[in-house]
Amino acid sequence: MTIRIGGKNYVPGMYSIRKPTGATLADKYFHELGKKLTEKERKKKRPKFFPSICFSRKIGVGALEIADVLAENMGYPVVDREILSHISEEAQLSKKTVQYFDERYPGMLKEFVKLLFGEKSFIKSDYSKNLFSVVLSLAGLESTIFVGRGTHLILPGDRVLSVRLICSDEYRVKRLAGILNVSEKETQKKLEQIDKDQSEFFKKVYGKKEASPYEFDMVINCDSFSDPKDPADIVAKAFQAKFASELKGHDTE
């Protein structure tokens, strides 16, 4: 997702390092998806959902920077909004992903929708169906760090550490304006529109007006941390504590 602010392009995850495009990363993850699915099918074992981390945030809080620190320390892949959207919107990738999912989890997508939302299902579009299938499929392959798109609402709560990253609007404005070297006034105006679009997405896909703090295992205020390594360490320790029995013998720090 590219955002235009003051004549400059901003892509979530843009801070001090140059990241590959969403399409490039999506193709990489999809290639791994197919390879791992084939390996698992040969073993003829019903796959499970691996312990994962789900970050929820407003654009500009620095979630991907924190996720990248975690990925380096824990060895888990980062799957963000751009990657999920690319796979969900790309016809061929979507078709293959849904096919893989349906073969491995026959009828489970419908079960999860009913479990999450009751009889009133909000999966009314191909994008939503593909998004759910992609998230569930990836979480069934390996422990993953998800960023955005409400992934904590898709996966079972006992299989994820769900983290809400918050901060003041002033923090977001200064951070993005500094990264892009544009005026804070332009940045503020653009973020207001981005927040509105994000709100519309959650209303359309999940039937939710806002994110309740009770949806998450923990809420971190990024105003309190100047170094992304600090909140990353907090999340790593919480993840270790929640899944201690499964992670025994694995170093997550």
pLDDT digits (tens, 9 = 90+) for 170-228: 999 999 999 888 899 999 998 999 999 999 888 888 888 888 889 999 999 999 999 99
Task: Give me the percent of the chain exceeding a pLDDT of 90.
Answer: 39
What is the pLDDT, as a whole number, of residue 31? 63
Residue 85 has pLDDT above 60, yes or no: yes
Predicted confidence band of residue 46 (pLDDT cuts 50, 70, 90) = very low
Q: What is the pLDDT of residue 45?
A: 47
* Mean pLDDT, range 50-59, rounded to an integer: 94
- Class of the CATH-defined domain 3-37+51-244: alpha beta
The domain spans of the chain are 3-37+51-244
Q: Name the strands in the sheet holding 218-221, side by side, starting at the edge strand that comes first in the sequence.
A: 78-80, 145-147, 52-57, 160-166, 218-221
- 94 contacts 132 by C-beta, under 8 angstroms: no
Of residues 147, 159, 133, 146, the one with CA closest to residue 217: 159
Tell me, what's the pLDDT at 139?
A: 87
* Tokens found for residue 229: 């390594």
pLDDT, tens only, 109-122: 666 656 655 554 44
- Residue 60's alpha-carbon distances to 23, 114, 172, 192, in angstroms, are 21, 33, 5, 12
Cβ contact 165:61 at 8 Å: yes
What mean pLDDT value characterizes the chain?
79
Own/partner contacts of 192-199, CB < 8 Å, gap of 24 or more, are 194/3, 194/58, 194/59, 195/58, 195/59, 198/58, 198/59
pLDDT at 76 over 60: yes
pLDDT score, position 131 = 83
- pTM of the prediction? 0.75
